Structures are given as C-alpha cells and as structure tokens.
Amino acid sequence: MKTKIIAFLSMALMVCMAATGAKKVHTLGDSTMAPYDESATVTRGWGMYFGNFLTNGWTSINYAKGGRDSRGGYTELWQTAKKNVEAGDYVIITFGHNDEKNSGMDGYALYDYYVSIGDQTAAAAVDKRGTVPSTTYKEWLGKMVDEAKALGATPIICSPVCRSYFTGSKIRRNGRHDLGDDYKVLTAEGPKAGTKLAADDHTMNYAYHSEQLAKEKGVAFIDLTTATAELYESYGDTKCHEYLFDGEGSTHFNTTGALLVARECARLMKAQGVMADDIILPTDLTVTPATGDFGEAYKGQTLTKEFTLNGFGLSPEQGTVTISATEGITLSTNKMEWSNALTTDYAASTLVRTFYAQVKLTDNGTFNGTITVSVSNGSSVEIPVTAKAVVLEGGVEVNAYWRLEKDDSYELTGPATVIAQSHQGMYVQRYSNPSANTTWPEWTGYEASRKTQRNLLTGDAWPADEIDDNPDRYIQWGIKPAAGTELKIDAISLFACGCGGNGMCCHIYYSTDNFETRTTIFEMKKMPANNMQYVESKPVVSLSEGQELLVRVYPWYNGAATGKTICLSDLTIHGMAVDAGTTAVQSVATRSQQAQQCYDLQGRRQPSFRPGLNIVRTSDGTIKKVVY
C-alpha cells in the first residue's frame, strides 16, 4: 500500500512546448526603460513601447528593472534574458543612471576599501551599485555584448537617456551623464573629490564610454543621450517636465515621454540600417496597444486598461478624434469621469494622447467588445476588447496573516506552506505605533496607538541620491502550495507608511519566479508621514506544487536622512487550495467523516486525520486528498 500511495503522489503531467521560431528583440536597462503597472503608477519606461515600431513577426521582451547598474544588468537581468536569446535575435543594452552611484566610484571597490581598513560601519553604508566609466562600466557592458554575440544574437548599445536637468535652455553636463563637474576617485587613502574636468575631457562621461565600447566591439551604437537632450530642449524646461515626465522629478517618463523615446530609438536604428526593414515609423493614427486584452479577473471586478493615441504627419494638420465603445465598456481621459464616448483635438499634424477603458465582469466567461477611434478625415481604427471572468470555487480556503504587532509570527489556515518574513539590507528597528497622531483609513476603525513593525535600512542612514529601488534592500514574505495541491491566489493586502518624515518612498511587488519578473501592486513617493496606506491587489495567480509567491517591499528615502523607518502592518495573502491532480481536495469537519485507511504525504499509515492534508482510501477503494 505504501508503494501505491507514493506512486500516486509522484504522478506528474509532462507538457512539451515546441519552439515557435518567433524573432525577438530583448531590452536590458534601468527604470527609464522598465515596465510599469499602469494601474499602480503614471510612470512608464520606454522599453514598454519599443515593440510598437516593429513589423509583424517580431516581438520585444523587456527585462529592464529600476535601480540596476551595468553590473546588475549583467549579473541579474542578462542571466534571465540569455535563457531566451536565440540566433538572429537583437539585444538592446542601455545603462548609466545607477552606474553614477558613489559619484563615479565603483561600489564594490569602495566597500572593499572600507573593509580593508576595518571600518565596518562605513562598509555597511556603501551602496554597492556604481561603476567607473572608463573601466568597470565598460567591462560589464562588454560582458553582455560578448555573450550575446556568442549566442548568435546582435547586440546594440544605447547610451542612457538624459535627465531633464536644465541650465537655461540647455541640458547641463550631469544631465547628459558626464560627471566631470563633480565626481570622486577612490585612492589608496580613500575617496577623494575630483578636480573639475574641461568640457572636452570625457574621463567621467558614461555616454562617451558606451560609444567607445561599441566601436571597440564593432556593434551598433544609438546615441539616445544626444537625442533625448535635443528632444527635451525642443520643449524647454517647464513644458518638458509637464508633457514628458511623471511629475516625480527629472528622470522618469509618463506615457508620452516613454513613447517618444521609444520612437526615437527606432528611428535612429532605422537610419543606421539596423533592423531597417523590420522597423515601422507610422505617420497615420495608431493606437497602442492595438488589441485590448484585459486578461483575467474574478467575477465582479472592474478592469482598467490604458491606451495611447499617437500620430505623426496627420492630415489634415488639425482635426478631431472621436473614441467610442460598445456596451459594457466605458472610457475616460482622467480615470474619474467615465462615458461611452470621448473626443480630443490635435494640431500641427501630431497627436499623442492617453485614454483609459474599463470593463466590469458581471457574467461568467469571456467578455467581448470593441473600441472605435475615428478621425475627422473619415479614417478609423477598431480595437477588439476581451476579458475573462474567473470563478474561484471547489477548493479549501487558505489565508496567511502577519499581524506585525510584536514579532514576525504569522497565522495560517488551510493547506499551504508559509515562507517566513526576511530582510535584505534592512532590519526591524522595533514594534510601536508610528506616532501619537497616526492616521488609519477610517473604515478600519484602528486607533493611532495600534502597533506596527518599524523597519530601517542597515546602517540607519538613507543615501541622498536615490530615486528608485535598491535591488539589495527589501523586506520579503511568501507562500507556496502544500504537497499535492495547487494554490490559487486571489488577494494580497497590507498597510504601509513612512515614519519620521514625508520623504519615504516604496514599491511593492509580487513574483512567482523568484523575481526574474515581477508585478507592481503599489508605488508611492514622498509618503505622508504616519499616514497608513492600504495596499490591495486582486491577482489571478495559480501556483503549482513547488512554486512560490513572494511579496517584497522595496523602500528608499527622498534625500539623505537618518533613522526614518517604513512601518508595515497586517499583511495577508489569501487564496484557495485545489487538487493538483484529478481528485478533489475535500474539507473534513469532524472525525466521524474519516475514511477506513488514512496516510500522510510520505505514504505512512496514520491512526486518524492530522491537521492539514491527508491521503485516504475509502471503503470502495477510492483515493482522495482531504484537509482536516
């Protein structure tokens, strides 16, 4: 019997996937290129839109992540990407923003220096990101180039997009990634401030050294630094920030900015003969995305999707665009006022405009509809819309809950395995209320005295120049299915706030592949102090046996500060456990429902049910998986 039970538990379904032969462009970069969840933030990366300018048969895969320098690009992003790179593919590589950490010094070298002199406090405070333009920056970029070539792919080096740092009407030197006016050098005696370099001295110019590497390696170089400087300057300081950026500084784009940069990269590639026959630069009206696949959600949920109208060289030079939708779809330009039709004007033959569509899943199954965009000249574009309602039933409820009031203990109900809270580059400072005037959402009924977990980064001092994730600093929790089950996650929620000042920022993500990819569920910059924010996501996620769902909070602070904490409370991961095979997982309330024969997951006979998942053989010989 033991052998039979073990054999039963060991059965697996083998799925073989044939290669499709699709041609791919892989994009590697930092937050200016990265994908963002349109429901969580207005920030967009230009890599999200590069595929809009490729002909049919090509697909663009965006591996970029915020906070990565060229070292992280190689050790993390490239290690994921190269599993999918095939001969004939293209690989676009662009880094620089986070390579400037430590004012032009190499982060690992700086860390090693402090360790060598026995200053563990200074070592712990070092941000290990950052490279030297002429040495380690080129070395890490070069590794990606060489390995892409070895796989039969064509690497392309892009210099980093500018920061919109204006002096008068021009982008100043550090905005173009040249630190020649203010940099540091690591010497045998420690970090030393550099002497200001002449304007034509490119020693500390990351964009220049990326171009030199491209020449040395014999690969295409796309000068996005110069191209974006010219783009920003054509708008001027005020309008550039208003029209192209996300309202959170001078680095990250909104939809319009990201789309224009993606188009500029495609235009420059085509002009140089790189993928010239496979790049399209449409001059008529197009809509991004061209199809409205809203994906899956649970019945009763409302899904929102962002679309962008873009046209260059439109005729006539000015006109009106009308957007209408079939029943069940509502439209908006601001996510506040919704209707079945919208109009927008354009001028100077150019249109870049964002609108949103909503679908509420009131019925089971698949929803189908259409959005129609019509131009006053008589032309029109139709966008098919689909969404699928998922009903979660037939399993056993699973709920993992971390109160985070006095320790990191958790409560678990249902068949699952919890991955305990852990810290990377952070620690728990203490458990207390954020402050005497803490504000919770009114619907919670919580008092200001309610205690939370206060977390601080290792070394206690927040660096001055952070604008995004530090990949080496996060707080993590997780869950995975019990043996023999599939776990369907339908809710993730928690509370978060900054304590001690209004400068706390954070991203919160979940991932099912150990953060090779991730989904944003919350982003907030300059969080109001002591004002608890409710974070909630309703994902449609199925975890197979052995697969994990991880939730991470990545905090940083807006400016140099000491002792500021991020406060967390009431993390919940909820779902339903169902059988991973062909038999149902049943819930048993009393021992009177016990079967004639009961076994644990290792096939050992048990005298009675034990808490959790049990294997039973009933009197008619049927084998079932039962939760007690």
**Strands in 256-377 per DSSP E:** 286-288, 292-298, 302-312, 319-325, 329-332, 341-346, 350-360, 365-375
User: Which pLDDT belongs to residue 3?
Assistant: 34
Task: Report residue 316's pLDDT band, with 50, 70 and 90 as the boundaries.
Answer: confident
User: Which pLDDT belongs to residue 348?
Assistant: 80
Residues 547 and 587 sit within 8 Å (Cβ to Cβ): no
User: Which pLDDT belongs to residue 621?
Assistant: 53
Q: From CA 369, how far away is CA 383, in angstroms rounded?
A: 9
pLDDT surpassing 50 at residue 19: no
Task: Report residue 282's pLDDT band, with 50, 70 and 90 as the boundaries.
Answer: confident
Question: Which of 121-130, 150-159, 358-367 has the highest average model confidence (pLDDT)?
Answer: 150-159
User: Which pLDDT belongs to residue 513?
Assistant: 96
Does residue 35 have a cis bond before it (omega within 30 degrees)?
Answer: no
The average pLDDT across 100-115 equals: 97
Least confident of 91-95, 394-398, 537-541, 622-626: 622-626
Task: Report residue 306's pLDDT band, with 50, 70 and 90 as the boundaries.
Answer: very high
Phi and psi of 239, rounded to 5°?
-70, -30
* Length, in residues, of the chain: 628
Tell me if residue 433 falls in helix, strand or coil.
Answer: coil
Q: From CA 29, how far away is CA 95, in angstroms rounded?
A: 5
For the beta carbon of residue 347, count every other beta carbon within 10 angstroms.
Answer: 10
Least confident of 52-61, 90-99, 275-284, 577-586: 577-586
Handedness of CA 515, 516, 519, 520 (dihedral sign): positive
Q: From CA 622, how far away is CA 612, in angstroms rounded?
A: 20
Surface-to-core class of residue 73, CB atoms within 10 Å of its CB (0-12 exposed, 13-18 middle, 19+ buried): buried
User: Which pLDDT belongs to residue 191?
Assistant: 97
Find tokens 């927008």 and name the residue.
344
Query: What's the whole-number average pLDDT of the chain?
Result: 89
Handedness of CA 404, 406, 407, 411 (dihedral sign): negative
Tell me if residue 259 falls in helix, strand or coil.
Answer: helix
DSSP lists the bridge partners of residue 494 as 535
Handedness of CA 427, 429, 431, 432 (dihedral sign): negative
Q: Give 138-149 as a DSSP string.
A: HHHHHHHHHHHH
Q: How far is CA 234 from CA 38, 44, 130, 225, 240, in A?
A: 27, 21, 31, 14, 8
Question: pLDDT tens, 180-197?
Answer: 999 999 999 999 998 899
pLDDT surpassing 50 at residue 345: yes
Residues 559 and 601 sit within 8 Å (Cβ to Cβ): no
Task: Report residue 611's pLDDT band, with 50, 70 and 90 as the boundaries.
Answer: low
Q: How many CA atoms lie within 13 A of 569 on its CB side?
A: 27
DSSP lists the bridge partners of residue 298 as 390
The amino acid at residue 463 is P
For the beta carbon of residue 381, count every other beta carbon within 10 angstroms.
Answer: 17
Phi and psi of 583, rounded to 5°?
-105, 155
Q: From CA 538, how far away is CA 525, in angstroms rounded?
A: 22
User: Which pLDDT belongs to residue 315?
Assistant: 84
Q: Which residues contact 459 (CB under 8 A, 6 or more apart)?
A: 121, 124, 125
Q: From CA 515, how far away is CA 513, in angstroms rounded?
A: 5
Q: From CA 608, how far away is CA 596, in angstroms rounded?
A: 9
Q: From CA 435, how far away is CA 36, in angstroms rounded?
A: 32
Q: How many CA atoms lie within 13 A of 6 on its CB side?
A: 7
pLDDT surpassing 50 at residue 12: no
Pairing of strands 154-158, 90-93: parallel
pLDDT surpassing 90 at residue 604: no
Task: Report how far Cα 340 is from the mean position of its chain's Cα atoms.
Answer: 31
The amino acid at residue 34 is A
- With pLDDT > 90 as the criterion, what percentage of the chain qualifies? 75
Q: From CA 402, how far away is CA 421, in angstroms rounded?
A: 9
Residues 495 and 450 sit within 8 Å (Cβ to Cβ): no
Q: Give 83-131 as a DSSP string.
A: TT--TT-EEEE---TGGGGGGGS-HHHHHHHHHHTT-HHHHHT------
The average pLDDT across 137-159 equals: 98
The pTM of the full predicted model, rounded to 2 decimals, is 0.83
Residues 107 and 134 sit within 8 Å (Cβ to Cβ): no
Residues 150 and 132 sit within 8 Å (Cβ to Cβ): no
Pairing of strands 23-28, 90-93: parallel
Q: From CA 368, how far away is CA 292, in angstroms rounded?
A: 10
Tell me which residue of 439, 435, 393 sits closest to 534, measured CA to CA: 439
Surface-to-core class of residue 493, CB atoms within 10 Å of its CB (0-12 exposed, 13-18 middle, 19+ buried): middle
Task: Report residue 374's pLDDT band, with 50, 70 and 90 as the boundaries.
Answer: very high
Supply the DSSP symbol for 346: E
For helices 255-271 and 237-244, angle between their N-to-C axes, nearest 10 degrees: 100
pLDDT surpassing 50 at residue 322: yes
The amino acid at residue 118 is G
Q: From CA 510, how far away is CA 407, in angstroms rounded?
A: 22
